Structure 1
Amino acid sequence: MQHGSSSPAPSPPPEALAAGTDESDGPPLIVLTAPSGAGKTTIARRVLEEMPQVRFSVSATTRAPRPGEEDGTHYHFLSEERFRDGIKDGILVEYEEVYPGQFYGTLRSELERGAAPVLLDIDVKGAASIKATYGSRALVLFVRPPSKEALARRLKGRGTEVNEDLDKRLERAEMELARADACDAVVVNDDLAEAVEETLRLVRSFVKS
């Protein structure tokens, strides 16, 4: 679910909100971040199930839609030119070029519309950008695996990674784990039910404050 997932209703196009919004006003932002394989996407889904008042942030991407995906519901599908223009114009709060010419990012409009709390499932670099932009409006939770060995087992267990890709993910995970303490709180995902409960506790407390 990182940088995209299903959403109950289409959201406005990127032009719905121009750059220059006052970041001190707007809905609470709940950011889940973690190395790939730590379980944050599963936790994010559970938060959305348990807290229906929370809205999921629909990511923007330059990749082509897959069968069944709808623009504004699963992703905001943008051309590479339009995405790059969005970076220059400040319409994108955070972004990453995952592969050459294939970008993912978060539209500022996704974080400013309505009053409902917004949940983001993004990588550590993106989470840092959100925190730097929105400050106390954003709660950044780092989902940590119980150990690096456990993370490696989970990634191998997926059966979707070739050895070279697995090594790259683990190398990146090392760097991301080193930045966990910069987040507002760390949730250790050793037992999923306990990790979900702790996440819900932190989110509910933040939304009420």
Structure 2
Amino acid sequence: MESNPDTSNRVDDEPPSNGTTRRAFLAQITYAGAGFTLVPLLARTKDILPEAPPASPETTTITLTVNGQKHALDIDERTTLLDALRENLQMPGTKKGCDHGQCGACTVLINGRRVNSCLRFAAMCQGNEIITIEGLAKGDSLHPMQEAFIKHDAFQCGYCTPGQICSAVGLVNEGHAHTDAEIHELMSGNICRCGAYQNIVAAIKEVQNIS
């Protein structure tokens, strides 16, 4: 029989002094050379391709009618009515609470109906009549709902009160609530952390009896 050739002394398998085979050693040299070649190329590519400029917000010019006065504003088209009132028109009476339409602190009246101003873009409100807490009083004469809230102690810390009052005015205008339970239900979008709900109901009932 023909004996198998002795392959124990193949040149490509001869281990170098550190124990790595010659074939593996040559592969490592190849990979290292490729790395040294690609690194400067990638660096040059980064220098050649400019970084994308940051996107600039789109602005728009709108006219809002707030408390009987017209206001021309140049604003980011994503601005909410709440932020336009507070930041652009300096009307801080409308409060920012949750900013997600869940607490009712930002309630205003649009065409007589109550709206969470944090959920409405200012640009959507052109041509509408907007009433905020600042616009309910007539000069030095408070709105009947404001007087009723004071009379019945329908607030404590007062943060939710502007939204509560605007919502209560809208509720009376809607004419749907006739019982305590209905008032509670239809005012449930306005949260009072201090828990003055019974006094709020009493104030609303008093104004209902007047109107």
**TM-score higher than 0.5:** no
Q: Which has the higher contact order (CA 8 A, sep 6+)?
A: 1
TM-score when normalising by structure 2: 0.27
TM-score when normalising by structure 1: 0.27
| Structure with more strand by fraction | 1
